[in-house]
């Protein structure tokens, strides 16, 4: 099982769970971060996440070119990708249309499923609430949902994280 997909609401414990699993993997760990400190609040969030990571882990910043960054990694590591939610937002801001975003997501899923190591992908589940009022928000929710489905389909293990606990999702049906 190369790819583990962790989804859930904001502050549900997804990232902390990924960090614990990576720590226990016994492999060298590469943390691939998609967040960008565009404002003080986001800088604080990033700093809190960085403080949760053990020293000695490598960090790769990949806010847009996530697939290329992952493809360049040496085999055998435990790779934590945190998170798809910010990546999709960055791609939208970068000007990618939905087709381009989904092409990137398929490439990422293909890489992760074939990687000679362990991959933990973290993302937010944003489709459980009300339909957003603004078209951009609806587009983001829909696009992230489709990206999540692409990654979950290729995952050996897909879990919903709620209050730090997991619920294992059934495998993809054909």
Whether the CB-CB separation of 6 and 161 falls below 8 Å is answered with: yes
Closest CA to 164 of 3, 16, 4, 5: 16
What pLDDT is stored for residue 38 in this prediction? Answer: 85
Per-residue pLDDT band at 4 (split at 50, 70, 90): very high
Kindly report the backbone phi and psi dihedral angles of residue 161, in degrees, each rounded to the nearest multiple of 5, phi listed first: -110, 125
What pLDDT is stored for residue 55 in this prediction? Answer: 87
Of these residues, 49, 106, 141, 146, which one is catalytic? 49
Say what the pTM is.
0.93
Token pair in block for residue 96: 């990618």
Query: Mind listing the pLDDT tens digit for each residue in 46-90?
Result: 888 888 788 899 999 999 999 999 999 999 999 999 999 999 999
What pLDDT is stored for residue 54 in this prediction? Answer: 87
Instruction: Name the percent of the chain lying above pLDDT 90.
Output: 79
What pLDDT is stored for residue 110 in this prediction? Answer: 96
Q: What pairing do the DSSP bridges indicate for beta strands 118-124 and 165-168?
A: unpaired
Sequence length of the chain is 174
Per-residue pLDDT band at 131 (split at 50, 70, 90): confident
Concerning whether 49 is annotated as a catalytic residue, the answer is: yes
Three-state DSSP string of 110-126? HHHHHCCCEEEEEEECC
Token pair in block for residue 164: 């730090």
Query: Mind listing the pLDDT tens digit for each residue in 154-165?
Result: 999 999 999 999
What pLDDT is stored for residue 1 in this prediction? Answer: 62
Closest CA to 22 of 67, 110, 66, 82: 82
What pLDDT is stored for residue 42 in this prediction? Answer: 86
Per-residue pLDDT band at 174 (split at 50, 70, 90): low
């Amino acid at each position: 099982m190369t790819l583990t997909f962790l989804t859930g609401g904001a502050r549900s414990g997804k990232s902390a769970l990924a960090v614990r699993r990576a720590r226990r993997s016994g492999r060298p760990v590469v943390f691939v971060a998609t967040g960008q400190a565009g404002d003080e609040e986001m800088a604080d969030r990033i700093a809190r996440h960085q403080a949760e990571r053990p020293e000695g882990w490598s960090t790769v910043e990949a806010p847009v070119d996530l697939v290329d960054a992952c493809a360049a990694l040496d085999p055998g590591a435990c790779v934590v990708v945190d998170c798809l939610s910010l990546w999709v937002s960055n791609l939208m801001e970068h000007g990618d249309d939905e087709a381009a975003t989904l092409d990137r997501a398929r490439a990422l899923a293909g890489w992760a499923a074939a990687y000679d190591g362990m991959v933990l992908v973290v993302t937010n589940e944003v489709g459980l609430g009300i339909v957003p009022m603004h078209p951009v928000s609806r587009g983001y929710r829909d696009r992230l949902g489709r990206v999540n489905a692409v990654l979950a389909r290729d995952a050996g293990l897909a879990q919903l994280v709620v209050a730090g606990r997991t619920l294992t999702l059934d495998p993809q049906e054909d």
